[in-house]
Chains A and B, each alone.
Chain A
Amino acid sequence: MNVDLYERFWMWTATVLLVAFVLAIVVSATVSAVHPPSHTETIDPARVRTESEFAHPGVFEDENGVTVVVLAALYQFTPQTIRVPAGRPVRFRVTSPDVLHGFQIVGTNANIVVAPGYVSEVVASFPEPGEYLIVCNEYCGLSHHLMQAKLLVENAP
């Protein structure tokens, strides 16, 4: 095929650019293990409220670290106020007993899709004390825009 010289130059430039993008992603994924949240765990949504850890949502701390169990349901996150220590990795475990929801801690990259029947997980750490807004970012019904919670990052005692 006869391709114009400048166009060939442009195509090579585009190729180099795209390969660079892909390499940046593949290297950070394989070397530094930077992956999007991809937890694979299923749960019966009909029993979430009664017979699972999500029946008693809250913040739990043990030798493995800090775990926050959150129930995202129409149109409320439980707990409404989440207190976590600064500077430590926090594992959020979230599920829904009804429709799809989002769990997004505004101003961070903690942002996951929450689906009934599945447990979503994301790990985040918050270096400084402060207050964050948590919002639902997946349309869930007529009061979707009211579904929110508060995250308080506090200095460890």
Chain B
Amino acid sequence: MTVGRKLVLANFWVAVVAFGLAAIMAVMQALARADAELAIRSPKLYYVSMTAHGVLMALVFTTFFIMALGYFAVGAELKRLETPSWGWASFFVSLVGTILTTLAILSGSSTVLYTFYPPLQAHPLFYVGATLLVVGSWIWCAVMIRTYLAWRAGMAGEAVPLSVHGMMVTVIIWILATAGLAVEVVGMLLPWSFGFVEKVDPIVARTFFWWFGHPLTYFWLVPAYVVWYTILPGAIGGRVFSDRLTRVVFILFVLFSTPVGLHHQFTDPGISSGFKLLHTITTYAILFPSFVTAFSVIASFELVGRAKGAKGLFDWIGFLPWKDPFFASVALAMLTFAIGGFGGAINAAYAMNAMVKNTSWIQGHFHLTVGTAVALTFMGVSYWMLPRLTGYPVRLRALALAQPYLWFFGMMLFSIPSHITGIMGMPRRVYSAAFQGSEVAASWQFLTTVSAVGGVILFVSSAFWLAVLVVSVLGEKGERPPIEFAKPLTPVAGSAGVWDRFGLWTAVAAALIVIAYAYPIVHLLSLTRFGSSPFKPF
């Protein structure tokens, strides 16, 4: 692969650095959670590090890694990249944005957590940086779309390669999602933080935030699915179980990832229950493509095991390459995602949600989903991508192999106790869960300490990953192995079906967003609202 290789690597390394910083922030939180007496422990440091961890992991690491994966897919499969200079513009704009936001956070003037709900007000640079990061990612979207259209012009009627299909779906989800974020940040928070407007309405802002916030999770997840469906099976000698069905899965994410955001606002005042119920139904609809994925990807694994001689009902599992860190990462990521999916079905449950809302259950949930299903997949695929991009073979192989297992083990220790303490009523995002000697709070402490141990193990796993990457590129350069994506089990007739019509599906998705959001937003705006002045209690 030569097309766009440097762009892939530039974005990849920023993702790696962001991950490393975020991991350091996380271990500090874990130690605080264990209620350990530490010289440097303070609420200020805790909430600053939590803000930095959330922003750097959820917004910076993911976005840069996904941009890298997008260039990788079109470069390797379409053998082209239109206007690479725009790609570099995207990179530098995003990078400058990231640096500004990170500085604003570390200065202690923007301790608003990664959800930055007003009327908590961060330093203006926090919002400026976040805006630049998103503008940079929009330029990436433009490069991806231009590249796709240029390819399409020469290949009329041809089905687009599956990995590119998935990455184009990612681009569409991101554009639909960030429309809501742009309204919140550019329309409300930026002018407010500069003092041009005095007040903002916190519930209106939250509504636009969650318009963005839920499809954000599919912006993370679909690229992980691209790895599961189109890269991993090829790397372990398997096939894509069903090409056409995979396209259906991706398109379902375009349709249903956005009109669901109110399920994050079930207990908000000012939003009537009818539309919360509608968003509940669409949320369950979006579980469907993940059910299909569980079958299809595991079926493609089974084919690998059978090809190696497995005969029985389950013995193919033993024939899988469990000593390959890439395979182990994805297999454990999928297993974790299954657990996270069950939790997600409870979060989405309209009235039952009140049992878990804003409790430590939620942090347990998203560390299984984005924190493992997505992050562990990205770490795993990096072991496969790095030699193919740079020619440096993976060194410290023992650490690379231990890393996904450690991550899985650490995450189970972190997340399962978090789920349980959440059900017991422990709130999330607290520096200390002691509540001044409350008896019920004391009953959470043991499990909270277990999750802190899990956090430390996760940090060790992160350090292994970083060490493997760094030591590998300091070693001897070899041949770059070929990049091969998985081929479908039954060859598809080359024609592009209706599932390749991105424009059509984007239009349907936009219509669904209007149906889901027009009334709640108009209703909110029609209330007699007073707005809130800024507060900086940090």
Contacts and interface: CB of A to CB of B under 8 A. Distances in A.
Interface stretch (A36-44, A57-65, A81-89): A36-44
Contacts of B273: 29, 35-36, 38
Interface residues of A, number: 66
13 contacts: A1-B245, A36-B266, A98-B535, A104-B357, A104-B358, A106-B425, A109-B354, A119-B269, A120-B267, A137-B427, A145-B431, A145-B435, A148-B436
Contact of B202 (A100, A104, A121): A100
A71 interface: no
Contacts of B21: none
Interface string B500-538: 000000000000000000000000000111111101011
B435 A148 contact: yes
B355 interface: yes
Nearest to A39: B269
A42 B529 contact: yes
Interface string B289-313: 0011001100100000000000000
Interface string A138-157: 11111111101000000000
Interface stretch (B6-14, B275-283, B406-414): B275-283
Contact of B281 (A22, A39, A111): A22
Interface of A: 1-4, 6-7, 10-11, 14-15, 18, 21-22, 25-26, 28-29, 34-46, 74, 98-100, 102, 104, 106-107, 109-122, 133, 135-146, 148
B117 to A, nearest CB: 5
A118 B269 contact: yes
B270 A115 contact: yes
B433 interface: yes
Contact of A146 (B113, B351, B436): B436
A102 B113 CA distance: 16
B432 interface: yes
Given A7-B245, A42-B528, A109 B436 contact: no
B440 A28 contact: no
B285 A99 contact: no
Nearest to B275: A38
Given A37-B267, A135-B427, A26 B528 contact: no
Interface residues of B, number: 75
Interface string B227-244: 000000000000001101
A73 B44 CA distance: 19
Interface of B: 43-44, 47, 111, 113, 117, 119-120, 201-203, 206, 241-242, 244-245, 248, 265-273, 276-277, 280-281, 284-285, 287-288, 291-292, 295-296, 299, 345, 349-351, 353-355, 357-359, 424-433, 435-436, 438, 440-441, 490, 527-533, 535, 537-538
B530 A36 contact: no
Given A15-B288, A98-B535, A40 B119 contact: no
Nearest to B536: A141
A104 B425 CA distance: 8
A146 B432 CA distance: 8
Nearest to A141: B537
B430 A144 contact: yes
B358 A111 contact: yes
B271 A74 contact: no
Nearest to A32: B351
B269 A112 contact: yes
Nearest to A4: B242
B270 A40 contact: yes
